[in-house]
Structure 1
């Protein structure tokens, strides 16, 4: 029998990952059976869910706040969905009318909740902008609202909901139609009024900007971190500089702010700068808005989705525009077919692709795609979430690059325009005219803090993932390891790999039998749940979670139902290697 080692990553089903983290973006599904139970809606799993992946599970703080708004402003059977702005709520309402035409427009109400006083709006909350817009709808149409929430990624964050609910409970956040006759004093929720020292400090040990902004500080103490909300603007600037490639080492906020705007960048693209980086509340929101803004610049046409994508990218193109031409294998043969279509006169708005693809880690031929795009005039949108911009440089070959910073960067998301593209000027004008900064202040500050050591973390994660791939690849019970270093598309990856870039922290494996896959997963001593890019290794039966109700469709594109995906973290390499070796021993143990 294999040597028995006590598990160190036992986390109860339904608990947040990390455990007891109020705003976590992952949830523990520690066994194969628990993942299937979640998809089947089994009570023993669903009833224990304290949280979930934000676009698939409406956070309980958001649910609670939405229920209060619906009870006050809606009809008895109404429910509410919460969004950062009235414009986004209006898009949800329009989606409702398209998807449920049987509804009368008067059954869909938008309520804009704003601070009560002019002082609150213009002074203390000018940085925070604590506003929420609710779409009220008949409750039996919740599925439509949830579809918009999931695909668009435009819902409120749990931190925004928590803060705004506190204002609402104190009568300080009201329907915008009620603001004329309300009190003129608004200090914010009581638990945020405490004066506190802050730890966002400059190299001289003094708080950056604190002498001017004491009135808009508040504290977030759950992780022992004090936040100076006055630093929101600076935090966003630092994040944008990291994304633009101006910061190539682990640096704090003061150093990030001292770097000149036109500093040498790893993203060496003419005319590209931090001003071309736009922050959105989540990665899918950046894709949704990229599609929406591109449609506004041209006569809407079908778009191409090339390679097997993260599911919501495909749904956005299918449901929020004229439709999709799907090239699900991401093969050269599909590019040959696309070129024949284009030569024959067929035209498209854009091509969406991932570098690398999820979960098969394939690398599209971006050079050929760019050639076709220039010749036949369509946009190219590249999701670099899994490749990440320290490992690969895809910007010269794209019109728009999107990335979910919730993942390895640790935060939320961004979208940026490609500097070399002939489409740059028209896209830049459209973005600047349309963009609303809805990135919640607390989320921005956490994002900046968590991304300060991004460079060193990527180096460690690259090394760990490579070591795990070497453990899995030769094992006789492992059918295939999906990793860019071993892929038949490796040459495409190498063309975009940075000189010091690695192969990323994500890999997947399939097994010869479902029984082996499940036994390996159940014996793998890592935490297990959705999402990727965490500092701890996170495993999931990805296809079960993402495509449970369309497994045959996924299989038709070469994505097997029993695939297991690993997002490799920062653990000691030898520890991780031992963890995976023991799980492999479990499936070769004939006495078990």
Structure 2
């Protein structure tokens, strides 16, 4: 989405526009290899049937999708599909693929499950399946039995690496994490779904989301389970305490409190010590998503019972593979219970994806140091621009300049000779008007899209792109159409500053022109 106009076309959801995409974030737009595999799957059916298909790594995932889209009523408010119009077929590919067939006309009622849960077949699994079809004619095969976790030496090595990184430069009170406490999933959203599903077995009551998370996270809580109470500012501790008291008094104590460190896209850091105290008092599980802070920089395990991370982001760092993890804190009072519910369900990371994550993350600390430095320099420069007379920049959102800076810094790992922690790769910048934000975005010659933590700098009008129909509501949370989210990459700092200077000049010019028109009027 290289221009504001492209983004507006994206928001319309026109299939003809989406057909122009070669590739995009795979949960949002089907990867080319997945599309090709779908074409092969559809070739096994008559065109007269008017079907479409989505491939999954297991029958369990395919059936979960079918159950959700045919439920009456559907928790996402969409019209349910007639179960008689759905069919599930396992195929003799390597790796095994299970296809869910459904009426093509209902595509937009099925895709939300794929997008929100992240449980669709990965592009590398699709590529491997296509290769196997070239050597063996495609045929149906009996549905396999209950799944066991996808395992390989790469999975084992990846778990060990994550555990080792969590055990380095720990804060006081942080536990030793064994590789067996690390659970791997095919996407970050699948990791969130897995953790939430396990917690539903724990108590089956409402979830609290404390601060702004990734857009799809709240939908997981809304669509799967009894619901969510949302505290979007990440600072409403008194209101949270009152809510927890009322739920406990009503006999339905909250099952879990979730927070992201820091929030997305406003980079607010919740007071994790205070959340831990409330979680202990009301016997709720505290779940922390540290994707944006990144566990190279922050250590949340002295407080968190459960850690969730999207490995797709800065851990991988090269925007070419997806993955997620859930880490159970062995010192948590809930550890024994939770461990029994993390028994392989949804752990369907394809072997080649595990191998790629292992390869990419070999330089995780070195890359994170550069991401930290570049983002810090850019935030410093943008903050300076905000102080200049006539500047179109009004505010910068970054953990180091946030009002909640002390909460973030309390979670930072101690510096070592190997690595000094920083404030992460993500920041947001706010402009005086939508026109200035548009001019900035249209002239900011970096990559564009919803990803973050990559080797290349990425920009996105995050509130507009993800909350277009809710802009009035989210403005009360601090998100505005005038904001652009920036995920800073590994480019040279001087190169980045020159790129941003040019775009900021265009934003200033647009704002000056707007002021001139207002004067004439």
TM-score (norm 1): 0.77
Of 273, 276, 279, the match for 2:181? 276
Query: Any residues of structure 2 matched to 1:417-436 within 5 Å, and which?
Result: 417-432=328-343, 434-435=344-345
Asked if 2 retains the 8 angstrom alpha-carbon contact of 1:83 and 1:154, the reply is: yes
1:455 maps to which residue? 365
Q: How many angstroms does 1:352 deviate by?
A: 1.8
Q: How many angstroms does 1:309 deviate by?
A: 1.6
- Alpha carbons of structure 1 residues 370 and 73: separation in structure 2 relative to 1, 3 Å: farther
Asked if 1 retains the 8 angstrom alpha-carbon contact of 2:169 and 2:413, the reply is: no
Q: Does the alignment pair 1:106 with 2:49?
A: no
- Alpha carbons of structure 1 residues 341 and 494: separation in structure 2 relative to 1, 3 Å: farther
SS in 2 for 1:356: coil
Alignment: residue pair count: 482
1:570 maps to which residue? 490
- Alpha carbons of structure 1 residues 454 and 91: separation in structure 2 relative to 1, 3 Å: same
Of 283, 289, 295, the match for 1:389? 295
- Alpha carbons of structure 1 residues 53 and 110: separation in structure 2 relative to 1, 3 Å: same
RMSD over aligned Cα, in angstroms?
2.4
**What whole-Å deviation, never above 9, does each CA across 1:421-444 have from its counterpart, x for those lacking one?**
100111111102x43542112211
Of 35, 42, 47, the match for 2:7? 35
- Alpha carbons of structure 1 residues 585 and 154: separation in structure 2 relative to 1, 3 Å: same
SS in 2 for 1:61: helix
- Alpha carbons of structure 1 residues 169 and 548: separation in structure 2 relative to 1, 3 Å: farther
Q: How many angstroms does 1:101 deviate by?
A: 7.4
- Alpha carbons of structure 1 residues 513 and 166: separation in structure 2 relative to 1, 3 Å: same
SS in 2 for 1:453: helix
**What whole-Å deviation, never above 9, does each CA across 1:57-76 have from its counterpart, x for those lacking one?**
11232123223324425771
Give the whole-Å Cα distance in 2 for the aligned partners of 1:350 and 1:360.
23
5+ residue gaps in structure 2?
Answer: 145-150, 386-390, 416-420, 515-521
Query: Any residues of structure 2 matched to 1:8-407 within 5 Å, and which?
Result: 29-41=1-13, 45-73=17-45, 76-98=49-71, 99=74, 103-115=81-93, 130-177=95-142, 233-244=152-163, 246-247=164-165, 266=170, 269-298=174-203, 300-331=204-235, 332-342=237-247, 344-345=249-250, 346-407=252-313
- Alpha carbons of structure 1 residues 89 and 178: separation in structure 2 relative to 1, 3 Å: closer
Asked if 2 retains the 8 angstrom alpha-carbon contact of 1:471 and 1:581, the reply is: no
5+ residue gaps in structure 1?
Answer: 1-28, 116-128, 180-231, 249-262
SS in 1 for 2:139: strand
Give the whole-Å Cα distance in 2 for the aligned partners of 1:319 and 1:40.
23
Asked if 2 retains the 8 angstrom alpha-carbon contact of 1:385 and 1:403, the reply is: yes
Moved more, 369-378 or 581-590: 581-590
SS in 1 for 2:332: coil
Q: How many angstroms does 1:583 deviate by?
A: 2.0
- Alpha carbons of structure 1 residues 430 and 497: separation in structure 2 relative to 1, 3 Å: same
Q: How many angstroms does 1:235 deviate by?
A: 2.5
Give the whole-Å Cα distance in 1 for the aligned partners of 2:169 and 2:178.
9
Give the whole-Å Cα distance in 1 for the aligned partners of 2:126 and 2:178.
32
Asked if 2 retains the 8 angstrom alpha-carbon contact of 1:81 and 1:145, the reply is: no
Give the whole-Å Cα distance in 2 for the aligned partners of 1:586 and 1:558.
25
1:537 maps to which residue? 457
Asked if 2 retains the 8 angstrom alpha-carbon contact of 1:342 and 1:376, the reply is: no
SS in 2 for 1:82: strand
SS in 2 for 1:289: helix
Give the whole-Å Cα distance in 1 for the aligned partners of 2:370 and 2:224.
39
Q: How many angstroms does 1:168 deviate by?
A: 3.0
Asked if 1 retains the 8 angstrom alpha-carbon contact of 2:308 and 2:327, the reply is: yes
1:586 maps to which residue? 506
**What whole-Å deviation, never above 9, does each CA across 1:381-435 have from its counterpart, x for those lacking one?**
1111100001101122112111111111114221111122100111111102x43
Asked if 2 retains the 8 angstrom alpha-carbon contact of 1:554 and 1:561, the reply is: no
- Alpha carbons of structure 1 residues 107 and 42: separation in structure 2 relative to 1, 3 Å: closer
Of 379, 395, 405, the match for 1:490? 405
Give the whole-Å Cα distance in 2 for the aligned partners of 1:44 and 1:138.
19
Give the whole-Å Cα distance in 2 for the aligned partners of 1:436 and 1:485.
36
2:148 maps to which residue? none
Q: How many angstroms does 1:447 deviate by?
A: 1.1
Moved more, 269-278 or 483-492: 269-278
Give the whole-Å Cα distance in 2 for the aligned partners of 1:364 and 1:417.
21
Asked if 1 retains the 8 angstrom alpha-carbon contact of 2:190 and 2:346, the reply is: no
Asked if 1 retains the 8 angstrom alpha-carbon contact of 2:241 and 2:278, the reply is: no
SS in 2 for 1:421: coil
- Alpha carbons of structure 1 residues 102 and 591: separation in structure 2 relative to 1, 3 Å: closer
Q: How many angstroms does 1:47 deviate by?
A: 4.4
Give the whole-Å Cα distance in 2 for the aligned partners of 1:271 and 1:172.
49
Q: Does the alignment pair 1:416 with 2:327?
A: yes
SS in 2 for 1:479: strand
Q: How many angstroms does 1:84 deviate by?
A: 0.5
Q: Does the alignment pair 1:466 with 2:369?
A: no
SS in 1 for 2:22: coil
TM-score (norm 2): 0.87
